[in-house]
Amino acid sequence: MIIEKEPISRADISQVSGLHKATVSSLVNELLNEELIYESGPGESSGGRRPVILHFNKVTGYAIGIDIGVNYVLCVLTDLKGNIITERNQFVTETPYPAILGVIQEMIQSIMDDMPNSRYGIVGIGVGVPGIINKDGTVLLAPNLGWKTIQLKRDLENLYRLPVLIENEANAGAFGEQQFGAGQDHPNMIYVSAGIGIGVGIIMNKELYQGKNGFSGEMGHMIIDMDGKSCNCGSKGCWEAYASEHALLELAGDTGKSLESLINHAREGDENAQELFAKIGRYLGFGINNIINTFNPEQVIIGNRLALAKEWIHQPLTETIKNHTLPYHQKEVRLNFSKLNNYSTAMGVSAFVVENFIKEEARAK
């Protein structure tokens, strides 16, 4: 309650929770002793003595959030309210597991060397991976990374002796946008992570929907052309084979070595580059049309690296939805691009780590 309602007084906690004032006082003293909250004040009074105000101590510990992409690794250190304290970002050209694990270790060590002192230090490490993760944190399959049955959680726990959480990057991105970004006011929201591949995170009634085994959201492998292009998953005609950063670079051929170079060409008025983005926008729209017709969400957020090309993707995407989505389904849905840009996943897994830390501390009380 203090995290959600701060700044708040003991009397207000008692009134909102229905707990006796003596019980509230005892619990607050425990939290003060554990340095999870701190006092300030006095605050404003509606009559009588001015109350002492309580705040959540967001710098009593820190969380590490890591986003593993196909061509980058992003690592952030956040406080317990999700504010980024420092970050490390590295482009990668190869993704064998040992190489990526080495990059992660270097980043974590660099961040640990620079982090501020605190009561709890690092409370955990969260990692977002573009693939299928089971409930034990094993990466069962990440086709765009070339990974299969990777024990990333076990390896990081053995290295750092800290709680480690592994999550699908689109699920983490959805949680990040809900907590800190464009999805904060929308309890029913779909996050489309459009990078080298495409993943989807589904928020229903403010809860992340993960399916029976935690495998939901692999809509990048929704078939949009049964006799279409081959996909890394082994199938043909998958949505991400047409609407991803990989598809964009494939269309560009020798004219576009990277997303950034194509964006620069488009900004300079290159009509070929602008048309490439428009084509990707239309294909994104076809898949999002299916998502809207299926889930009837309040909001769809487009994130990850293709969101950097919003200027040229937005109009063809919205026109495709307008022309193809069922009228009643598109009537109230909001289409937004990520407010967190490339940070949705890293901030999302960091927030998962903090949430688990708070739950464990509450359980210990």
CA 254 to chain centroid: 32
Give me the pLDDT at residue 256, please: 63
| Residues 361/119, Cβ–Cβ less than 8 Å | no
The DSSP H or E segment spanning 63 is: strand 62-68
Give me the pLDDT at residue 7, please: 83
| Residues 335/291, Cβ–Cβ less than 8 Å | no
| Residues 349/128, Cβ–Cβ less than 8 Å | yes
Q: Measure the CA–CA gap between 272 and 189, rounded to whole angstroms.
A: 33
* Number of DSSP helices (H) and strands (E) in the chain, helices first: 13, 16
Q: Measure the CA–CA gap between 310 and 288, rounded to whole angstroms.
A: 15
How many CB atoms are located within 10 Å of the residue 95 CB? 18
Q: Measure the CA–CA gap between 8 and 37, rounded to whole angstroms.
A: 11
Could you tell me the two tokens for 283? Answer: 């294909």
Task: Write a three-state SS string for 146-168.
Answer: CEEEECHHHHHHHHHCCCEEEEE
Q: Measure the CA–CA gap between 310 and 341, rounded to whole angstroms.
A: 11
| Residues 197/218, Cβ–Cβ less than 8 Å | no
Give me the pLDDT at residue 236, please: 95
Cα atoms in the Cβ-side hemisphere of radius 13 Å centred on 282: 6
Asked if residue 163 has a cis previous peptide bond (ω within 30° of 0), the answer is: no
Give me the pLDDT at residue 11, please: 84
Tokens 């390896």 locate to: 155
pLDDT tens series, the chain, 365 aa: 678 777 888 888 887 777 888 887 888 888 898 888 888 866 565 555 667 899 989 999 999 999 999 999 999 999 999 999 999 999 999 999 999 999 999 999 999 999 999 999 999 999 999 999 998 999 999 999 999 999 999 999 999 999 999 999 999 999 999 999 999 999 999 999 999 999 999 999 999 999 888 899 999 999 999 999 999 889 999 999 999 999 999 999 876 679 999 999 999 999 999 999 999 999 999 999 999 999 999 999 999 999 999 999 999 999 999 999 999 999 899 999 999 989 999 999 999 999 999 988 877 76
| Residues 65/92, Cβ–Cβ less than 8 Å | no
pTM (2 d.p.) = 0.91
Give me the pLDDT at residue 361, please: 81
Give me the pLDDT at residue 365, please: 62
**Phi (first) and psi of residue 3, to 5 degrees:** -60, -45
Give me the pLDDT at residue 19, please: 83
Sorted by sequence, the CB contacts under 8 Å of residue 185 that are 6+ apart come out as: none
Q: Measure the CA–CA gap between 140 and 178, rounded to whole angstroms.
A: 26
Give me the pLDDT at residue 31, please: 86
Domains and CATH numbers, the chain: 2-56 (1.10.10.10), 62-172+345-364 (3.30.420.40), 182-339 (3.30.420.40)
| Residues 346/74, Cβ–Cβ less than 8 Å | yes
The identity of residue 70, as a single letter, is: V
Q: Measure the CA–CA gap between 344 and 107, rounded to whole angstroms.
A: 18
Give me the pLDDT at residue 27, please: 84
The count of residues in the chain is 365
Report the DSSP beta bridge partners of residue 38. Answer: 55
**Phi (first) and psi of residue 99, to 5 degrees:** -65, -45
**Phi (first) and psi of residue 293, to 5 degrees:** -65, -30
SS3 content of the chain, % helix, strand, coil (to 5): 45, 25, 30
Tokens 């889930």 locate to: 295
